[in-house]
Amino acid sequence: MLYRIFIEETKLDIATLSALSEYEKRLSPYTNIKLITSKEHKRQQSDNPNTYKILINKHNDTISSEEFANKLAYLTNHGHSTIDFYIGTEVSDFNEDISISHMNISNGLLTNILYEQIYRGYMINIGKTYHK
């Protein structure tokens, strides 16, 4: 499985990049995750039918970590080799939109939360303890 996070930012602060790097390291035994900034969006987008596209917004109902973990497992088991998440970007052809929070959160922090939720989802799905 490949997760691609498209974010409408050209530069993230060092603390955010450090946190994302830590989650990438923790996820590396299980999956691949890639951050794609706004400058790279057009080159990286895919029309592959095995790619599932999720828009992150603050207007829908939020989902729990367990529901998110179930969604990741379901998509993996039903033929999707790539899941694209879009944060703060305009995309019209998405499969689903979900909300992580109704609060106004910066795109960098929202990306950090999404990485953490993907990691948490994997730990839930394989039955491992999440907190170290």
- What are the tens digits of pLDDT across the range 110-120? 999 999 999 99
The DSSP element (H or E) to which 28 belongs, if any, is none
Residues 6 or more apart whose CB falls under 8 angstroms from that of 82 comprise 1, 2, 3, 4, 46, 48, 50, 51, 52
pLDDT tens per residue across span 59-112: 888 999 999 999 999 999 999 999 999 998 877 789 999 998 889 999 999 999
Q: Residue 61 and residue 1: Cα distance in Å, rounded?
A: 26
* Angstrom distance (rounded) from CA 22 to CA 25: 5
Per-residue model confidence as pLDDT tens digits over 40-69: 555 556 678 889 999 998 888 899 999 999
pLDDT tens figures, 7-44: 988 789 999 999 999 999 999 999 999 999 876 555 55
Say yes or no to pLDDT of 130 above 90. no
Q: Residue 49: CA atoms inside 13 Å, Cβ hemisphere, count?
A: 2
3-state secondary structure of 60: strand
